[in-house]
């Protein structure tokens, strides 16, 4: 059976989402709710992933529509979405958002006496991914509603064994 993160870490994930979106992306969420993360396989228009090692290894996964990813990138870069060129610019900015979200969550994890070393983010455009999964993994997800769109922000810790 897959377990979910401790309630205080889910709260930290909510706070992380709100803080990064408000301060770095200039978007204020209308809601940030914990949602069940029942799978470790995802298909989406835009998927950002960042792996980590340390006390527990795992992957931070952020899923969005292309429209929202473009809006977030434009806001972060202080541009209009139509000013962005091809998807490579959106991908770079979205990857940086994933990096900031993961880094902010890392602070909460490390404050509990854990270790976490981060890799670099990867962004997949119109694809599917599966992260390491078994019955002893630990995972959580928050769904952020922002400007009529949603983005899912999840963390998947691999089993300890």
Is the pLDDT at 100 greater than 90, yes or no?
A: yes
- Tell me the pLDDT tens digit for each residue of 9-68: 899 999 999 999 999 999 999 999 999 887 888 899 999 999 999 999 999 999 999 999
* pLDDT at residue 46 in the model: 97
Phi (first) and psi of residue 152, to 5 degrees? -100, 130
Domain ranges of the chain: 3-157
Q: Is 128 strand, coil or helix?
A: strand
What whole-number percentage of the chain has pLDDT above 90? Answer: 76
Distance in angstroms (rounded) separating the CA atoms of residues 153 and 161: 25
Q: H or E stretch including 149?
A: strand 149-157
pTM of this structure: 0.92
Pairing of strands 3-4, 138-146: parallel
CATH for the 3-157 domain, from 3.40.1550.10, 3.90.79.10, 3.40.50.1370, 3.20.20.150: 3.40.1550.10
Rounded distance, CA 131 to CA 148, Å? 28
Asked if pLDDT for residue 132 goes beyond 80, the answer is: no
Read off the pLDDT of each residue in 123-151 and give the average, rounded to a whole number: 87
């Amino acid at each position: 059976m897959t377990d979910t993160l401790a309630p205080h870490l889910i709260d930290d994930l909510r706070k992380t989402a709100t803080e990064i979106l408000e301060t770095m992306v200039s978007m204020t969420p209308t809601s940030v709710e914990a949602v069940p993360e029942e799978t470790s396989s995802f298909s989406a228009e835009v998927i950002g992933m960042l792996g980590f090692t340390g006390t527990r290894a795992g992957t931070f996964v952020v899923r969005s529509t292309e429209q929202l990813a473009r809006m977030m990138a434009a806001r972060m870069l202080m541009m209009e979405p139509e000013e962005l060129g091809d998807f490579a610019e959106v991908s770079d900015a979205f990857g940086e958002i994933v990096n900031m979200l993961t880094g902010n969550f890392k602070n909460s994890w490390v404050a509990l006496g854990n270790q976490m070393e981060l890799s670099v983010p990867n962004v997949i455009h119109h694809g599917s991914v599966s992260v390491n999964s078994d019955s002893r993994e630990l995972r959580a997800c928050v769904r952020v509603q922002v400007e009529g769109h949603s983005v899912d922000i999840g963390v998947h810790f691999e089993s300890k064994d």
